[in-house]
Amino acid sequence: MFGVKIELLSLDGSRSVEIEAVVDTGATFTKVSRAVADDLGLVPQTRHRFRLGDNDVVTRDVGPLLIRFGGETVTILVAVGADGEIPVLGATALESLGLWVDPAGHALIPRDAYELGMAST
């Protein structure tokens, strides 16, 4: 795992914050602290259960924010952690941004998206 700087924005783009997040392909969602979520006006849409690395289970608020990285800005779902928890850039954000993780080079590499590509019948 390694860290990258990401910019998160409110849905209307009027507020933003740049944070250092750990790239974690094993994490489903990106995670930010309650303080960051509140600063950006994140409105939780649901709550999800998360199984942690030590096998504990926690329940977290989840809602949408914008993320900007490498010239791309997309809407992602973000889990809200407690203040003091390490921010995480998760798999769904990486896929939405079209990024592949190079763990040896500690880099995020742009890649094409994939689809099944079946013809209709």
- What does the pLDDT average to over 24-50? 97
Would the pLDDT of 54 be above 80? yes
- Quickly state the pLDDT bin for 10 (edges 50, 70, 90): very high
Would the pLDDT of 97 be above 90? yes
Distance CA 53, CA 90 (A): 14
Would the pLDDT of 56 be above 90? yes
* Amino acid of residue 25: T
The tokens of 8 are what?
């998160």
The tokens of 79 are what?
């889990």
- What does the pLDDT average to over 37-46? 97
Q: Which domains occur in the chain, in start order?
A: 3-110 (2.40.70.10)
Task: Share the mean pLDDT of the chain.
Answer: 94
- Quickly state the pLDDT bin for 53 (edges 50, 70, 90): confident
CA 110 to centroid of chain Cα atoms: 16
Q: Which pLDDT belongs to residue 18?
A: 98
Q: Which pLDDT belongs to residue 3?
A: 96
Distance CA 83, CA 103 (A): 27
